[in-house]
Structures are given as structure tokens and as C-alpha cells.
Amino acid sequence: MTGPHFRRWQRPAIHGCGSLLLASGMAWLLLHYGSSADLPAPAEAWLMKLHGLASFAAFFVFGMLAASHLAPGWRATARPRGRAQRRLGLMLCLLAALMMASACALDYFAPENARPALGIAHSVVGAAMALVLWLHRRSARRFHPRT
């Protein structure tokens, strides 16, 4: 184990999926909204494919987290000094659910006129998730000094 409730391969999987999602999403946003060209840049399609592939891996990683990290983490943070860690974990679960729901809506259900607003909301939630994950990890270092 490398830390509370993680096997050696799990933390790199979490960080790898999260980093790939964040990097591909940000790169797409920069290309899509940072260009004054009328047509999309050719790399936009490839970035979306990479982002989608990383999201499937993230679905798996989130399931792994649900099985191995959430319940033990919930018990470990029952003490008053662990409450901030618990709140951040709950916020991450909520943000992950919003990310998954908005991604599915963008891919399969959103009407064309709703896609721009939904895409911006998806991007804002993704940025918030990156920030909350960083705070959760930082809080974990204080709560579990050896992680």
C-alpha cells in the first residue's frame, strides 16, 4: 500500500487519468476558443477522442475508488480533525457525478443549441474538480502525514 486505502498502482492511475483529462480538455478549450479561424483546428477532433478515451479510463478508476477508498476513508474521517477531508471527498464525488452526467449529455443527449452552454458548464466543473482534488490531497497529507 502506498497510502490510506490505495494499492501501489492506484494512485498513478488516478493521477494519470486526471492529468490526461485535464490536459486534453484544456488543450481543446485553447484550440477551440483561442483561435479566430472559422473552421475547427484539425487537432480538436483528436483531442476530443483522447479526452473521451481518458474518460472511459476515469470511469474505471472512479469505480475502483468507490470500492477501495470511499468506505475506509469515510470511517477514517469520522473524527473531528478529519471533517474537512470528508467534506472535500464528498465534493469530489458530487463533481465526478456532474462531470459524468454532463459528458454523457454532451455526447448523446444535448440538443445542438444547448451544447455550448453545457460544454462551458462541463469545463467549469472540470476545473473545480481539479482544484478540489488538489485540496483533498493536500488535506490528506495533513491528516495522514506519511501519504
pLDDT in tens, 44-81: 999 999 999 999 999 999 888 888 887 888 887 787 77
Q: Is the pLDDT of residue 2 over 60?
A: no
List, in sequence order, the alpha helices (H) in 1-114. 10-34, 42-65, 71-76, 83-104
Q: Find all residues with CB under 8 Å of 91, minimum gap 6, and list them.
A: 132, 136
96 burial (CB, 10 Å; 0-12 / 13-18 / 19+) is buried
pLDDT in tens, 86-104: 889 899 999 999 999 999 9
Q: Find all residues with CB under 8 Å of 43, minimum gap 6, and list them.
A: 27, 31
Given this model, what pLDDT does residue 71 score? 80
Q: How far apart are CA 19 and CA 125, in angstroms?
A: 15
How is the chain split into domains, by residue range?
Answer: 10-143
Burial 63-84 (b: 16+ CB within 10 A, else e): ebbeeebbeebeebbeeeebee
Q: Which three cell numbers stand for residue 77?
A: 474521517
Question: In terms of pTM, does the model score above 0.85?
Answer: no
